[in-house]
Structure 1
Amino acid sequence: MNAYRLKPLRYPWPLAVFATGLIFAGFLHHLAPLPLGGTDAWGLRFTGLIIFLAATLLDIWAMKTLADHHTPFWDTGCAKRLVTTGPFQLTRNPIYLGYTLAAIGLALLADNGWMVAAAIVAAASTSYLVIRCEERHLLARFGIEYESYLRRTRRWI
């Protein structure tokens, strides 16, 4: 199989999956509130803000690292280089990890338990539907170099 023809995805699913899940969770919370509980609402929101900001910084760092290596992150084209530096030394999917943490941070900010559930479902869906496809693409494209990266770097954290 020609690795240049094997594209990771046809559409940018992960962002759509997370956004749809959070919107749906917002509607659910409006219909049947599921607060996260706790008596310290201020502390809950502050923790959510810190998590959301950390997630945003992780995503920016990962996207900048990809851009520095002339590798696409918004489109669905073939990977030009295998990036293993920056946040990619810590996790193979820092952008998706950032999305998940951002969703959890938003859940805490909104005191919305449905958003936590949506974040978990979106992360599982991304892992099953997206990451596996991307991993096949990268394996076909980079071979043994990617296999070595798989052995030394975790998929999530």
Structure 2
Amino acid sequence: MNQFQSRPLNFPWPPLFYIAACVVGFAIEARVPSPPGFHLTILAPISGWAFITMAVSLDIWAVKTLADRDTAVMPMKCASYLVTCGPYRFTRNPTYLAYTLLLIGVGLVAGSAWVMIGAIVAAALTTYLAIRPEEFHLLSRFGFEFERYCHGTRRWL
């Protein structure tokens, strides 16, 4: 099987990275609490809920956009169409961005800096272990069209 026919990932790692980051963040929080001023402000939970709302909305929009174009939603399946509309006009990875925003929002609502740090670690792992293989897959499937898309659209924001 050549790269054109192969799947970008063999396992959906990104959701596991973010779940693990959340669990580990709360475990560290139980042992080493965040600085006291971090969760005393009323702006943290309000901002957190705003991040959570944005994350859920972005994820729904991204999945709906992929489904409307009849292409793979799950990263273990081969892409049949290069989607560049909807949230994909602004970011090449709206679903992973949504996961990151969700975890940052959870950290703000719970008053846990550790969960927010976990979001950054999960985003880094996702970049190296999921996004790069997916991009290689898309480049092999769509060539110049994907290169042009990459030049006009950022990976995250």
Q: How far apart are residue 27 of structure 1 and its match?
A: 1.0
User: How has the CA–CA distance of structure 1 residues 28 and 80 changed in structure 2, closer, same or farther, with 3 Å as cutoff?
Assistant: same
Aligned to 2:117: 117
SS at match of 2:156: coil
Maintained 8 Å contact 1:36/1:113: no
Q: How far apart are residue 34 of structure 1 and its match?
A: 1.4
User: How has the CA–CA distance of structure 1 residues 151 and 36 changed in structure 2, closer, same or farther, with 3 Å as cutoff?
Assistant: farther
Q: TM-score, normalised by structure 1?
A: 0.94
The separation in 2 between residues aligned to 1:130 and 1:88, in whole angstroms, is 17
User: How has the CA–CA distance of structure 1 residues 147 and 18 changed in structure 2, closer, same or farther, with 3 Å as cutoff?
Assistant: same
Opposite residue 54 of structure 2, the aligned amino acid is: A
User: How has the CA–CA distance of structure 1 residues 63 and 108 changed in structure 2, closer, same or farther, with 3 Å as cutoff?
Assistant: same
SS at match of 2:87: helix
Aligned to 1:59: 59
Q: TM-score, normalised by structure 2?
A: 0.94
User: How many residues get paired?
Assistant: 157
RMSD value, Cα: 1.5
The separation in 2 between residues aligned to 1:5 and 1:97, in whole angstroms, is 27
The separation in 1 between residues aligned to 2:138 and 2:72, in whole angstroms, is 13
1:107 aligns with 2:115: no
Unmatched runs of 5 consecutive residues or more in structure 2 = none
Which residues of 2 match residues 1-150 of structure 1 at below 5 A? 2-35=2-35, 37-38=37-38, 40-74=40-74, 76-150=76-150
Q: How far apart are residue 39 of structure 1 and its match?
A: 7.0
What whole-Å deviation, never above 9, does each CA across 1:72-95 have from its counterpart, x for those lacking one? 223511001000000000000011
Q: How far apart are residue 22 of structure 1 and its match?
A: 0.4
Opposite residue 145 of structure 2, the aligned amino acid is: E
SS at match of 2:37: coil
Q: How far apart are residue 36 of structure 1 and its match?
A: 6.8
Maintained 8 Å contact 2:58/2:87: yes
The separation in 2 between residues aligned to 1:37 and 1:131, in whole angstroms, is 35
User: How has the CA–CA distance of structure 1 residues 75 and 129 changed in structure 2, closer, same or farther, with 3 Å as cutoff?
Assistant: closer
SS at match of 1:48: helix
The separation in 2 between residues aligned to 1:9 and 1:121, in whole angstroms, is 20
Maintained 8 Å contact 2:38/2:113: no
SS at match of 1:79: coil
User: How has the CA–CA distance of structure 1 residues 23 and 93 changed in structure 2, closer, same or farther, with 3 Å as cutoff?
Assistant: same
User: How has the CA–CA distance of structure 1 residues 145 and 95 changed in structure 2, closer, same or farther, with 3 Å as cutoff?
Assistant: same
Equivalent pairs: percent with the same residue?
A: 45
Q: How far apart are residue 35 of structure 1 and its match?
A: 4.1
